[in-house]
Structure 1
Amino acid sequence: MSLVHQTSPIPLVTYPEVRAALLAREEIALLDVREEDPHAASHPLFAANLPFSHLELNAYARIPRRDTRIVTLDDGEGLAARAALRLRALGYTNVGVLAGGVRGWREAGGELFQDVNVPSKAFGELVEARRHTPSLSAQEVKALLDDKADVVVVDARRFEEYQNMNIPGSVSVPGAELVLRVRALAPDPATRVIVNCAGRTRSIIGTQSLVNAGIPNPVHALRNGTIGWTLAGQQLEHGQARRFPEQVDTTGREEARRQARAVAERAGVRRIALEKLGELEQPGRTLYRFDVRTPEQYRAGHLPGFLSAPGGQLVQETEMNAPVRGARIALADDDGVRADMTASWLAQMAWEVYVVDGISAQDLAAAGDAPRALPPVAVTDQQRVSPQQLKAWLDAGNGTVVLDFSLSARYVARHIPGAWFTLRSQIGEAARKFPSASRFVVTCGSSLLAQFAVADLQALAAQPVYLLEGGNAAWEQAGFALAAGEERLLSPRIDRYRRPYEGTDNAVSAMQAYLDWEFGLVEQLGRDGTHGFTVI
């Protein structure tokens, strides 16, 4: 990081420097600190979206090593410099700002990508192009179902996504579970297995996982997923709860273990004994530790220090879970199947990935969700107010203004009556529209995020700023009413990019445009040239 702006304490980092680090597979965290919607509009391939609004909530878990090389970027909003300064305050010692941001990247000849989780989606398209992953159209699949053919449709998305909408008759089998669970769902080798997701990536990766593992059944992806199904004018189900069978017989588990291990070996996955895992904790190297089983299994018992990252979603959202490109990744489960299959994909995506061997039931000693590592908060007891005190202030009508820093979707769904929605990243702009106030009270769902906004707001406001203790959840638990709706928005709803494959009310043009974009990703990968992907 050699180029330093004369008036800034934060070094500027050029496009050639970042590109050189990516090509050399050096550790680097290229962080797009804008909100998700502008990030989805345009960003470099390996720019991980870590919005300034949530920086304190995510930094320590996602960038565990304080001397990691970090480069922040925006598109001229000024967020990159603010985030860099904040990261320094959090203890990170090697932080710079991308010179020129998104525009500078493009003007220097860099390729820019749209949408979210682009490395994984582009990799999925490359897999299909190289391996010619078998697929069937929505019309062909529906004809099989209408004819009551010997076919099983498995949905490789999260269970929550499956519940929102699914192919009629399909069963939820999140991606990393496929090789382990498919035999119970299709014990007859003649049964055709069809894998679907909402768009393309998880269908392709799920289908190719079964092909790579060598299951005897004919396997096909549902081409273009639920988008393709909808574009064909076919109806989806909603609110279903069909899930893969929990129990796997000994023979099936051993066969799945053997097949997954063979795939991992072909992909160049490394292995490490649990007792030697600490050897990967070396100076200058980041080590991510992920448990790739289901969230329910993780909460029941997991290795201390491991984060929950179900394998299918880890492959789908790699840069969100591991924003330090070039880091090491260690994967764990309780039978090896899901860790080996997940690792096989990460290795092809140019990660140095290890499967942890020798895990016993006694080793899975940590239960519940992993504790969140957070920086200290400078909020005094005098600045904290209870729901009862806030209610009294609001009832008195003495100029108390409530600012809600929740995700916009959560604000719209439920918020304290009269509260104003504000994005932390937009707080300066929002301050110019604040109503007249004698005091401000900040809140969010739990007060976890809002506590970090207290100092931001106090720097802008002459009035005292308070934190609602326990946030909106405490307000509701106290028995006070909540409101809903989009009124009182001080900030635009740019914190969430609306995926064209989500929900059931997307425009046909948006869905088709999304598919067209995915088809073009392989060409974009070629122009970018930094990915290092291989396909076995």
Structure 2
Amino acid sequence: MSQHLPEKLPIVHTDAVRDALRARREIALVDVREEDPYAQAHPLFAVQLSTSRLELDAPWRLPRRDVPVVVYDNGEGLAEPSAHKLIALGWSDVSLLDGGLAGWAEAGGELFRDVNVPSKAFGELLEHERDTPSLPAEDVKALLDSGANVVVLDARRFDEYRTMSIPGGTSVPGAELVLRARDLAPDPATRIIVNCAGRTRSLIGAQSLVNAGLPNPVAALRNGTIGWLLAGFELEHGQQRRFGPVSAASLAAARESAQQLAERTGAQRIDEACLARWAADASRTLYRWDVRTPEEYAAGHRPGFGSAPGGQLVQETDVFAAVRGARIVLTDGGSASDAVRAPITAHWLAQLGWEVAWLDAPHPSEGLETGTWQPARGASPEVQTIGVAELAGLLAEDAATVIDFAPSAQHVQGHVPGAWWALRSQLSAALKGLPEAPKRIVATCGTSLLARLAAVDIQALTDIPVSVLEGGNAAWAAAGQPLQPGGERLLSPRIDRYRRPYEGTDAPREAMQGYLDWEFGLVAQLGRDGTHGFRVLQPA
């Protein structure tokens, strides 16, 4: 019997991809490697969508099934099977990048390092063109030590702020700054310092306040917490200071400035009827994001809108909008603070080259959904499952081998005792790395979603019985079973996540300085690349 071979995939040259990017035609340039190799080198607008998680992440990151998708790797053999998988899942316009990553470079395409590069590069271009005010750590420390009239506003996510923060700083994530700053610094003479971990969010945050016309002197903390540490200063840990309610006067002033800025950048103000037309337009990709805090989103949000707090949306646009050239619609809900965060976020996305609109309409009186955001997922395969008690019994009898497919950082933090860790994208090699043939394999992950997909792959590679732990590691822990820390039983290299030099509290000084040096060079890289389409708003 002859074996059915997949159809040959079309090949797209680097020049065609670059032409589409410059023309703002919809295209998704998809790197199917794990995050660490992706972060070492990739095109500016390439999005990382690991072959390990295609079924889970493609539905919400590539929502239009006939959008042009160009897939590549760097010779690992992942691109072609990933492209065929996308086709099998329902995407109809899938091709391979000619020569992969090496072909891009050989054709003269610029290669970028790190993650969220479009946003970081834009931040550097912003400072270059607008001379965004900043102060070095030494000057900020002197102001704080002298008791000067100064406030420090931390523009990162609250969990990042809680990990480490500038002494005395208050958590005000990026999209909240224009809304909250007037109440946090009501005296026009109060100096406002905006910080993040490195540079991007502090530069964009400080420039947000400058653009919005705050009377206060404003500056970014130059190089963020990295610069603070490199200057030899101590950070606080575990702080809980957050912004408070918004006064009516501050709300009115913030709303007027935010909407004027959105209009100046070409961001569109749309109503319910326009949103409905855009949602029904099958020829365009549409992303819909609620830019409020996660807590506000969970309390009640419009159906069809995901959660993307505005500061993070600007920082991680390549994650939240994987299709370059797509439309983006933002809402900030029906609370007393609406019509500020959506337009201020839209004014940044417009400068980043997106067709973006903000919904000028309050929440409907009924029909809101509650709870945390649940991304659209593909259908979960039917697999054999076992419960926590049954797995505990098998382990006690040494009758099962557990393979954990959770993110490696979660595995190291705590896993089912004795579990091995593996990458789904390297499953064949991982199975060969087991010291002996298992009697039975039990796949798990954080929730069992990825483990279900991995179990199907395992069963295709071996005759060993395979089950999935129902509910994954979360169910194991919730049942009171112990979690074992450590990373001694690794079947795959830990390349699923790129370690950012600015996260955590133990980054080497050389890595932190190297990261800053890299950021300084991004403006020159943008010039060489020539596809970005960024437009920095100039003073009125």
User: Secondary structure, in 3 states, of the residue corresponding to 2:66?
Assistant: coil
Cα distance between partner residues in 1 of 2:148 and 2:364: 41
| Residue range with higher mean Cα deviation, 236-245 or 12-21 | 12-21
Q: C-alpha distance in 2, partners of 1:480/1:189? A: 55
Residue pairs, 1:51-450, within 5 angstroms: 51-245=50-244, 247-281=245-279, 282-334=281-333, 335-360=338-363, 362=365, 365-380=368-383, 383-398=384-399, 400-434=400-434, 435-450=436-451
Q: CA deviation at 1:470?
A: 1.1
**3-state SS of 2:194 partner:** strand
Deviations 1:63-120 (A, max 9, x none): 1111111111111111111211111121111111112111111011100000000000
Matched residue, 1:3: none
Higher mean C-alpha deviation, range 79-88 or range 407-416: 79-88
Count of residue pairs the alignment pairs up = 527
Q: Work out the CA distance in 1 between the residues paired with 2:67 and 2:301.
A: 27
The residue matched to 2:345 in structure 1 has which SS? Answer: helix
Mapped contact 2:170–2:243 kept (Cα < 8 A): yes
Q: Is the 8 A contact 2:302 2:363 kept in 1?
A: no
For the Cα contact (< 8 Å) 2:306–2:375, is it kept in 1?
A: no
> Aligned in 2, Cα 1:39/1:377: closer, same or farther, shift over 3 Å?
same
Does residue 30 of the first structure (1) align with residue 29 of the second (2)? yes
Question: Aligned AA for 1:310?
Answer: P
Tell me the TM-score normalised to structure 2 length: 0.96
Deviation at 1:279, TM superposition (A): 1.0
1:276 is displaced (CA, Å) by 2.7
Greater mean alpha carbon deviation, residues 230-239 or residues 465-474: 465-474
* 1:372 positional shift: 3.3
SS at structure 2 position matched to 1:298: helix
Three-state SS of the structure 1 residue aligned to 2:449 is coil
- Preserved CA contact (<8 Å) 2:151 2:193: yes
Deviation of residue 53 (structure 1)?
A: 1.3
TM-aligned CA distance change 1:329 to 1:316, over 3 Å: same
Partner of 2:522: 521
Counterpart CA distance in 2 for 1:261 and 1:237 is 36
Encode CA deviations 1:437-488: one digit per residue, 9 max, x unaligned.
1221100111011111111111111212111111112222333222110111
> Residues of 1 paired with 2:394 and 2:302: CA distance?
47
Shift in Å, 1:430: 0.8
**Matched residue type, 1:344:** H
In the TM superposition, residue 376 of structure 1 has moved relative to its aligned partner by 2.1
- The CA deviation string for residues 178-206 of structure 1, in whole angstroms up to 9 with x for no partner, is 00000111000000000000000000000
> Aligned equivalents of 1:364 and 1:256: distance in 2?
29
Please state how far the C-alpha of 1:385 moved relative to its aligned partner.
1.2
3-state SS in 1 of match to 2:482: coil
Inter-partner Cα distance in structure 1 for 2:126 and 2:366: 36
Kindly state the Cα deviation for residue 363 of structure 1 after the two structures are TM-superposed: 5.8
SS at match of 2:269: strand
**Distance between the aligned counterparts of 1:7 and 1:66, measured in 2?**
19
Greater shift, 307-316 or 72-81, is seen at 72-81
CA contact (8 A) 1:274 1:359 kept: no
Whole-angstrom CA distance in 2 between matches of 1:230 and 1:185: 26
Percent of aligned pairs with the same amino acid: 60
Q: Deviations over 1:343-395 (max 9, x none)?
A: 00000011000010122462671111234322223324xx1111222122222
Q: Describe the superposition over 1:233-253 as per-residue Cα deviations: whole angstroms up to 9, x where unpaired.
A: 0111000000011x1111110
Report the alpha carbon displacement of residue 506 of structure 1 after superposing the two structures with TM.
Answer: 1.1
- By how many angstroms is 1:9 displaced? 2.4
TM-score w.r.t. the length of structure 1 is 0.96
Residue 45 of structure 1 aligns to a residue in which SS?
coil
Aligned 8 A contact 1:179 1:209 in 2: yes
| Partner of residue 485, structure 1 | 486
Letter in 2 for 1:232: A
For the residues of structure 1 that align with 2:515 and 2:7, how far apart are their CA atoms?
40
| Letter paired with 2:433 | K
Gaps of at least 5 residues in structure 1 are 1-5
Q: Distance in 2 between matches of 1:513 and 1:74?
A: 26
Once the two structures are TM-superposed, the CA of residue 136 in structure 1 deviates from its matched residue by 0.4
In 2, Cα distance between the equivalents of 1:8 and 1:163?
A: 51
User: What residue is the counterpart of 1:471 in the other structure?
Assistant: 472
Q: Which whole-Å CA distance do the structure 1 matches of 2:239 and 2:367 have between them?
A: 31
Q: Does the 8 Å CA contact 1:301/1:364 hold for their aligned counterparts?
A: no
SS at match of 2:365: helix
Deviation at residue 7 of structure 1 after TM alignment = 8.5
Where 2:288 maps in the other structure, the secondary structure is strand
C-alpha separation between the residues in 2 aligned to 1:304 and 1:395? Answer: 46
**Distance in 2 (alpha carbons) for counterparts of 1:492 and 1:199:** 28
- Partners of 2:283 and 2:310 in 1: CA distance: 26
Structure 1 segments (4+ residues) deviating >3 Å: none
Cα separation, 1, equivalents of 2:454 and 2:12: 28
CA distance in 2, matches of 1:330, 1:296: 20
Deviation at 1:10, TM superposition (A): 2.0
- The whole-number CA distance in structure 2 between the counterparts of 1:151 and 1:370 is 36
Alignment check: 8 A CA contact 2:126 2:536 kept: yes
Q: Is the 8 A contact 1:379 1:454 kept in 2?
A: no
After superposing the two structures, state which structure 1 stretch, 9-18 or 420-429, moved more. 9-18
Deviations 1:34-82 (A, max 9, x none): 1111111000000011111111111111111111111111111111112
